[in-house]
Amino acid sequence: MSWDTVSLEYDDDVATLTVDRPDALNALNVETLEAMGEAIETAADEGARALVLTGAGDAFIAGADIKYMQDLGPEAAQKWGELGHDVADALEAFPAPTIAAVNGYAFGGGCEMALACDLRVASESALIGNTEIDLGIIPGWGATQRLPRLVGDETARRMIFLGERLDAASAAEVGLFGEVVADDELEGVAAELADRLAAKPAFAMRTAKAAINQGYEGSQESGLAYEQRAFASLFGTPDQREGMAAFVEDREPDFE
Ligand code: CO8
C-alpha cells in the first residue's frame, strides 16, 4: 500500500513503513505525517506482528519540514505539534514491537519518531540529534520526555541544549541505538530482528510492551501494580500453556 510520500510493505507478518520524500531528505510535512498515521493504523488493523520504520535513500528523516514551519504562528504550531505527537503516540502504542532502522540523518522530528519506537538499529553513517535549539525552537514531538528516559538526564540535556548531532557510534554509547551495523547490512539486520520479534507469542509481547509503557505513564508503584495484573492475565492463555508445556516436555513451543 502506498501514499505519495509513504509506503507500507509486508514480508509475512512484518510491516515496513518507509518515508519517501527524497527532495527534502524525508523531512515530515502535513501530508507525510497524515500518511504515516494512516499507515500505522492500517498495519495495526491488519495484525502486523512487528513494524519497521525507515527512510528511503540516504536519510532516515531529516526532521520536521522547516520550510513549512517557518511562518507558522502559535495556533498553527499547536496543531502541527499535535499532528506529530499523534503519530509518535501511535508508534508508541502500536500493538506489536516497532523498530526504527535509522539509515541516515535523524534530526529533530526524525529523532523523535525514532525515540517513539521500541528499538533502534542504525547504520554506521547515521547521524542523530535534537537540533531544534539552533532554529530557535525546542523539540515538539516528544524528545523532552522520551530522550531523558532513554539516555539519562545529563546526556539528554546536553543533546537538547547544544543541539548535538551524534554519530552512530556515539549514539550507541549513550544507549540511543541498540545496535550499529554496516550501511549495507541495516535492512537485513532490521528484518531479522523484526522476524525474531514477530515469532514470539503475540499476546504476551503486546502485554509486555503495554506494561513497560504503563510504567512511564505514572509512578513506579502504579507501573508495578499494572505489571502484576498484566502478568496474571497471561495465565491460562493458549500461548502460556503451550510455552510452559514445551519447556517441561523439552521441545520447541508452537505458539498460536
Ligand atoms: N525541512 C525541510 N527541508 C529540508 C530539511 C528539513 N528538515 N532537511 C533538509 N531539507 C531539504 C533542503 O532544504 C534541501 O532542499 P533544496 O535542495 O530544495 O534546497 C534538501 O533537503 C537537501 O538538503 P541539503 O542540501 O541541506 O543536504 P545536505 O546533505 O547538505 O545536508 C542536512 C543535510 C545536514 C540534514 C541538512 O539538510 C540539515 O541540517 N537539515 C535540517 C536538519 C534539522 O535541523 N532538522 C530539525 C528540524 S526542526 C524539527 O524537526 C522540529 C520537530 C518538532 C516540531 C514540533 C512543532 C510544534
Query: How do residues 72-99 score in pLDDT, each as one tens digit?
Result: 899 999 999 999 999 999 999 999 999 9
State the Cα–Cα distance between residues 118 and 101, nearest whole angstrom: 11
Specify whether the CB–CB gap between 207 and 97 falls below 8 A.
no
Segments of the chain assigned to CATH 3.90.226.10:
6-198
Ligand 1 centre to CA of 67 (Å) is 9
| 137, three cell numbers | 525552537
| 6, three cell numbers | 509513504
Q: Specify the pLDDT at position 227.
A: 85
- Any idea what the Cα angle at residue 118 is, between residues 110 and 8, rounded to 5°? 65
State the Cα–Cα distance between residues 60 and 75, nearest whole angstrom: 28
Where do the DSSP E strands lie in 115-173? 119-123, 127-129, 166-167
* Domain at 6-198: CATH code: 3.90.226.10
Q: Specify the pLDDT at position 205.
A: 97
- Any idea what the Cα angle at residue 21 is, between residues 53 and 13, rounded to 5°? 25
Fold of 202-248: Lyase 2-enoyl-coa Hydratase; Chain  A, domain 2 (1.10.12)
pLDDT beneath 50, residues of the chain: none
Q: What dihedral angle (degrees, nearest 10) is formed by the CA atoms of 172, 173, 178, 180?
A: 40
Ligand 1 centre to CA of 63 (Å) is 6
Segments of the chain assigned to CATH 1.10.12:
202-248
From the alpha carbon of 64, which atom of ligand 1 is closest? 50
From the alpha carbon of 66, which atom of ligand 1 is closest? 1
List all residues 6 or more positions away from 94 whose beta carbon is below 8 Å from its beta carbon: 40, 43, 44, 51
| 102, three cell numbers | 535509522
Alpha carbon of 163 to those of 22, 114, 117: distances in Å?
24, 17, 21
Give CA 47 to chain center in angstroms: 17
Q: String of b and e for 195-234 (b: at least 16 CB within 10 Å)?
A: eebbebbbbbbbbbbebeebbeeeeeeebeebbeebeeee
| 202, three cell numbers | 503475540
Alpha carbon of 114 to those of 47, 98, 249, 252: distances in Å?
21, 9, 41, 34
State the Cα–Cα distance between residues 7 and 19, nearest whole angstrom: 7
List residues near ligand 1 (CB under 6 A): 24-25, 27, 62-67, 77, 80-81, 84, 105, 107-109, 131-132, 135, 139-141
